[in-house]
Amino acid sequence: MAITEPIVEMEDISIEFPGVKALQNVDFRLFPGEVHTLMGENGAGKSTLIKALTGVYKIDSGTITVAGGPRTFTGTADAQSAGISTVYQEVNLCDNLTVGENVMLGHEIRGPLGVNWRKTHEAARVALEGLGLGHLDPRQPLSSISLALQQLVAISRAMVTNSKVLILDEPTSSLDANEVEGLFAVMRRLRDQGVAILFVSHFLDQVYAISDRLTVLRNGQFIGEYLTHDLDRTQLISQMIGKDSQVLAALGSNRGRGVVDPDARPFYSAKNLGRRGSIDPVDIDVHAGEVVGLAGLLGSGRTELGRLVYGADRPDTGEVLIDGVATEVHTPTAALAHKIAFSTENRRDEGIIGDLTVRENLILAVQARRGWARPLSRKEQQELCDKYLVELNVRPADPERPIKNLSGGNQQKVLLGRWLATKPELIILDEPTRGIDIGAKAEIQEAIATLAEDGMSVVFISSELEEVVRLSERIVVLKDHRKIGEIINGPEVTAESIVDLIANEGRPEAVAEAAGLELVETEESVA
């Protein structure tokens, strides 16, 4: 199959950590001039394989061949000197230096009087131009350019060392569509120059847009290596999660079934809920057993609205009725007392308490509601752990492990468990499936559907419109910090109808008519 010799060949790699077989007999090859994507769920062993290649982890058995000879690296720097560069999801650059200084850091051009900054910046410009980034001024501070461009600067920096192999570990997770396209243009350019690129991403569309070859891992085992055009998405998903993708397709297909009587008293009802500079006043109702989706682009105010409902930010206008009773929800503590829970999109900064154990993280909200003086007994804590770690399929199901050592998807499940343990009547889920693999995603979607069936009210926020459409009974559409409409979900509603609504926001009625939608509410000011 291969015309050329692979530049990196890993054969029969096994790594065992105490109690865990992280990799078992995994094979992996990288060819020059190819983008090779590593696919697998969280915990499948993708990062471990990368770290085995760059020498961060020592391999227990197997061989690594680089450019024809056996090699073992002692770490990322050693690998880089052999032409294998890694660019991580979080950009490791110096914000306060210029673009050029970042590109050339450690390779500054020296003259008789120390560093010659003019020549250094010139060399940086050449390096940037080589990636089609000629429009970037090497003398502007790094902090003045977007995250996406910073990522490209990180790649230029890797290429200054004439790398033959470039490892991109989830570079796209915080980029928007245009930025991803820009990154892909750079990747294609490098590929055509003969660089071998190892790419990791959770976004299937991106994987299919850029990869030439796929290697699938599952639970530390090698499942297979495929040419991308030989494997369709359904097959790929089945390979990754080891279960029939029918289950995924069937998920939430009975949404929009109209189980909720719109005239009944909603569990949560807000009129003119707003906060200056964050979101204009909004009306929103959520009935028991209903999933209300908040749809909108990034920055549309969907997260801000969720935070106002929970009291994470203090609203400055609006009346809130909970079960028909006027209530003030100005703090998270008050929200929890009224059985409202909020799962944040910002898992690391606002969700997990990293150094605490899974058990402590799981019980935290329940304990906060009981107050410090009435601690949960060890037995009660253990019961909560037993229940939610199993129900949510947290792996490893070890309550005494620090939560920071779990993968992102499993941290998310523990957080979901934290909120469910408070037995909420209304749960706000802000991007509960972001940055986690497709298997965990399906499990969380399934969990949400089940919760609503059991009578819980759910406010579901996601940047993936398909997901919102699949799960929600009603969809509140937001744009530019305003509510621009509300759609009752039904078979004729698709992600495209929401996109149309956002795009043609000036004439929502016209859009609704054209799409045959039932539009329940629009803001007066829009007309």
Question: Which residues, 417 to 446, sit near another protein by CB under 8 A?
Answer: 418, 420, 439, 443, 446
The two structure tokens encoding residue 95? 């914000």
Q: Which is nearer to another protein, 99 or 414 (CB)?
A: 414
Residues 30-69 that bind another protein (CB under 8 A): 43-48, 56-60
Could you say which of 214, 312, 426, 458 contacts another protein (CB under 8 A)?
312
Regarding 399 and contact with another protein (CB under 8 A), the answer is: yes
Residue 10 identity (one-letter amino acid): M
Tell me how far apart the alpha carbons of residues 323 and 55 are, in angstroms, rounded to a whole number.
58
* Least gap, CB of 249 to another protein (angstroms): 16
Neighbours of 189 (CB within 10 A): 14
Tell me how far apart the alpha carbons of residues 513 and 238 are, in angstroms, rounded to a whole number.
39
From the list 4-12, 179-187, 283-291, 396-404, the region that binds another protein by CB under 8 A is 396-404
* Least gap, CB of 251 to another protein (angstroms): 11
* Least gap, CB of 348 to another protein (angstroms): 9
Regarding 252 and contact with another protein (CB under 8 A), the answer is: no
* Least gap, CB of 303 to another protein (angstroms): 13
Regarding 386 and contact with another protein (CB under 8 A), the answer is: yes
Regarding 86 and contact with another protein (CB under 8 A), the answer is: no
The maximal CA–CA distance of the chain, rounded, in angstroms, is 82
Q: Which is nearer to another protein, 59 or 484 (CB)?
A: 59
Indicate the DSSP class of residue 515: H
Could you say which of 138, 293, 351, 432 contacts another protein (CB under 8 A)?
351
Regarding 323 and contact with another protein (CB under 8 A), the answer is: no
Regarding 391 and contact with another protein (CB under 8 A), the answer is: yes
Q: Give CA separation, 436 vs 155, 345, 377, 411, 444, in Å.
A: 24, 12, 33, 10, 10
Indicate the DSSP class of residue 402: B
Regarding 385 and contact with another protein (CB under 8 A), the answer is: yes
Tell me how far apart the alpha carbons of residues 94 and 102 are, in angstroms, rounded to a whole number.
7
Tell me how far apart the alpha carbons of residues 51 and 58 are, in angstroms, rounded to a whole number.
9
Residue in 93, 88, 346 with CA at minimum distance from that of residue 200 = 88
From the list 163-171, 186-194, 391-399, 505-513, the region that binds another protein by CB under 8 A is 391-399
Q: Give CA separation, 193 vs 51, 67, 159, 361, 503, in Å.
A: 25, 17, 11, 48, 39
Could you say which of 390, 503, 514, 520 contacts another protein (CB under 8 A)?
390
Strand pairing class (165-169; 196-200): parallel
Q: Which is nearer to another protein, 252 or 351 (CB)?
A: 351
Regarding 263 and contact with another protein (CB under 8 A), the answer is: no
Strand partners, 69: 66
**Helix, strand, coil percent values for the chain (each to nearest 5):** 35, 25, 40
Could you say which of 66, 270, 335, 469 contacts another protein (CB under 8 A)?
335
Tell me how far apart the alpha carbons of residues 93 and 105 are, in angstroms, rounded to a whole number.
9
Could you say which of 313, 350, 464, 523 contacts another protein (CB under 8 A)?
350
Could you say which of 2, 3, 18, 491 contacts another protein (CB under 8 A)?
18
Classify residue 526 by burial, with Cβ atoms within 10 Å: 0-12, 13-18, 19+: middle
Classify residue 445 by burial, with Cβ atoms within 10 Å: 0-12, 13-18, 19+: buried
Q: Which is nearer to another protein, 75 or 516 (CB)?
A: 75
Contact 456, 427 (CB under 8 A): yes
Regarding 16 and contact with another protein (CB under 8 A), the answer is: yes
Regarding 251 and contact with another protein (CB under 8 A), the answer is: no
Could you say which of 174, 219, 278, 317 contacts another protein (CB under 8 A)?
219
Instruction: For tokens 């009291």, name the residue.
Output: 311
- For another protein, how many residues bind (rule: CB under 8 A)? 83
Regarding 330 and contact with another protein (CB under 8 A), the answer is: no
Contact 273, 315 (CB under 8 A): yes
E-assigned strand segments in 67-181: 69-70, 84-87, 110-111, 114-115, 165-169
Regarding 395 and contact with another protein (CB under 8 A), the answer is: yes
Could you say which of 151, 206, 215, 407 contacts another protein (CB under 8 A)?
407
E-assigned strand segments in 434-488: 457-461, 474-479, 482-488
Could you say which of 185, 209, 297, 364 contacts another protein (CB under 8 A)?
364
Could you say which of 134, 258, 354, 506 contacts another protein (CB under 8 A)?
354
Regarding 150 and contact with another protein (CB under 8 A), the answer is: no
Residues 221-250 that bind another protein (CB under 8 A): 241-243
